[in-house]
Chain A
Amino acid sequence: MATSTTQPRAGRQLPDSPRDPRRVGFSQTLGRWDVKVSPYLYISPFFLLFALTGLFPLAYTAYVSVHDWHLLGGQGEFVGFENFAFVFQEPNFWKGLRNTFSIFLLSTIPQLMVAIVLAALLDANLRAKTFWRMGVLVPYVIAPVAVSLIFGKVFADQSGLANAMLGIIGIDPIKWHGDVLPSHLAVATMVNFRWTGYNTLILLAAMQAVPRDLYEAAVIDGATRLRQFLSITIPQIRPTLIFVVITSTIGGLQIFDEPRMFDQLGQGGGDRQWMTVTMYIYELGFGNSKSFGRAAAVAWVLFLIILAVGMLNFWLTRRIASESTPTARKKVKR
């Protein structure tokens, strides 16, 4: 899967410049024109549509965020950083930020650890490979909304499966919807359920590409399986590991579907115990206050946070994946 290492290679493999003309004529000119213009035509759908639905909105968010702007009333006057100032004073914004980070950490860290172990298990020479691979991917086809309806019932406070099970082994019912940490755990469970298998397969794909003779060499050197995993597998799948960590960060910090559907009101709990930043953006823009300006301000803040955390994660993953064995990396140049 996605790595960014192959891009420079393309330049070298290009064929020689267009062939020598054999005859000059109209079709020749047409052919040249075809060669020159076609590439731009082929990439233009992406760039045009992306400009309209991705790039422009993102930039325009900055413009909206410094204006008084309402869902119904439209653009108001320029207010500078007033929207930001308002939002920073709101306790709900900080609650949303706390919840987002808490849920993000509770989901991403266990999820990726389990995924990497599962991928290592699947990387063995299994019988019925496809069955196991498909088995872990099943939750991925269930919509997050459906997942949270299922787990909403599992974690119901009164008649939920989780509390009933805990009752059997003598543990008091947990207020999954009432308390902060339990609600975060419940939401994180939904995220983990849906995405662990997906990340497992991405990591497995990278593991399958690791040259097998590296392991053979390690065995000769007397390395245990754990040592092989830490010193060969992890450094070798580093680009994919970075990809998975970055995409999980982007997705995890924007989480909306699962917490929104955790109860039927969709406000993140009476005391906003599990309201995330994206839910707060929705509430500001499309809820009662209908303030697009403030919603855009929060969106912009969240964007900068995602950027910062993404970069931090990139740096961390690089370090972790390369530090585990400096020597193996030197030997193995691909």
Chain B
Amino acid sequence: MSAPSVPYIRQTAGAGAARAAKRSRGHGSERRPGWVTYLLLTASVAIFTLPIYYAFLLASSDASTIAQNPIPSLIPQGNFFENVNRVLTSDINFWKALTNSVIVAVVTSASVVLFSTLAGFAFAKLRFRGRNGLLLFVIATTAVPTQLGIVPLFIVMAELGWLSKLIAVIVPGLVTAFGVFWMTQYLESALPYELIEAARVDGASMIRTFWSIALPAARPAAVMLGLFAFVGSWTNFFWPFIVLGSTNPTLPVALQLLQASYFKDMSLIMAGVVLSAIPLLVLFVVAGRQLVAGIMAGAVKG
């Protein structure tokens, strides 16, 4: 069915009807939303950002002020850098946690992107026996909560001698079913068969075709997948907490240690919170536009 356009209404039902249709059109590209929409959105964004600002306010204050007055002054106090310094020099190894988190997040997100794109390329564009069944299996596994296998996974890591080593956090994060599914979906529509055919006719090997044709085509979805994987790894707590322990923590584990040992010193804890969030906030400001655009691009197929 095709919807009548405004000019069509003008022709058939007159100018008044056309104006009415144009005015009441909630979703067309013509009409700007009213101030109520902006008011609601402003309120939402405020709710979503104020707790972070609150953390910064506490981090720039000192413990006794916080204890005396639950409602902080809306202007940051001057103790932020001092508190940050106290976090970094505390017996909780915050620098190490920061480095660990960077290593884990970079390695796992790079690996997720590479392996997901490889598998996605195969599933979307190559012919092989059992393809549909295997893809169905991948989709089914996105619904399986892997967290629930932690006890055996812990046993495996202990057998391998990986406890309290970063590799115990890295290896389980190297691939995700969601990533494979995501790249398959994207490459199915974004990579024309003609390009692959042309590369093959020119004598390119499969891996060459992947490298020169599929990988560049996958870039928008890959950026977005990489960011998601990075955020996922950076914010992950449960597994690192179990397998790493206090000697070799990642950032969330370090925050837990900070809370456990300094729970009365709220300004110190909040300095740690802000410190742990800064790298991702910066990344988000730099790449957020692409992240948001990436989510939207994934929607085209609905």
Contacts and interface: CB of A to CB of B under 8 A. Distances in A.
Interface of A: 1-4, 6-7, 9-11, 13-15, 17, 19, 31, 34-36, 38-40, 42-43, 45-47, 49-50, 52-58, 60-61, 63-64, 118, 121-127, 130, 132-147, 149-154, 156, 159-161, 163-165, 193, 196-197, 201-202, 204-206, 208-210, 212-217, 219-220, 225, 228, 236-237, 239-240, 246, 250, 253-254, 256-257, 260-261, 264, 266, 278, 281-282, 285-286, 292, 295-296, 299-300, 302-303, 306, 310, 331, 334
Contacts of A205: 295-296, 298-299
Nearest to B194: A15
A137 B292 contact: yes
B298 A1 contact: yes
Nearest to B68: A159
A11 B122 CA distance: 13
Given A60-B149, A246-B143, A126 B37 contact: yes
Which among A39, A125, A281 has the greatest number of chain B C-beta atoms within 10 A?
A39
B185 A15 contact: no
A173 B84 CA distance: 32
Given A219-B25, A295-B151, A143 B251 contact: yes
Contact of A254 (B147, B156, B277): B147
Interface residues of B, number: 125
10 contacts: A40-B122, A45-B118, A50-B175, A124-B27, A135-B44, A141-B235, A153-B270, A197-B48, A216-B5, A303-B148
B27 A123 contact: yes
B190 interface: no
Contacts of B123: 10, 43
Interface string B151-191: 11111100000000000000110110110111001001000
Nearest to B276: A146
B40 A254 contact: no
B30 to A, nearest CB: 8
A138 B48 contact: yes
Given A7-B132, A46-B119, A144-B235, A239 B302 contact: yes
Contacts of A197: 48
Interface of B: 1-5, 9, 21, 24-33, 37-38, 40-41, 44-45, 47-49, 51-52, 54-55, 58, 66-68, 70-72, 115-116, 118-119, 121-124, 126-128, 131-132, 134-136, 138-139, 141-156, 171-172, 174-175, 177-178, 180-182, 185, 188, 193, 197, 200-201, 205-207, 210, 231, 234-235, 237-238, 242, 251-252, 255-256, 259-260, 263, 266, 269-270, 273, 276-277, 280-281, 283-284, 288-289, 291-293, 295-296, 298-302
Contact of B153 (A57, A206, A239): A57
Given A15-B197, A43-B119, A58-B148, A216 B273 contact: no
Interface SS of A by simple majority = helix
A121 B277 contact: no
> Which 8 interchain pairs have the tightest Cβ spacing?
A57-B149, A205-B299, A209-B302, A135-B45, A143-B235, A60-B152, A213-B3, A216-B3
Nearest to A165: B71
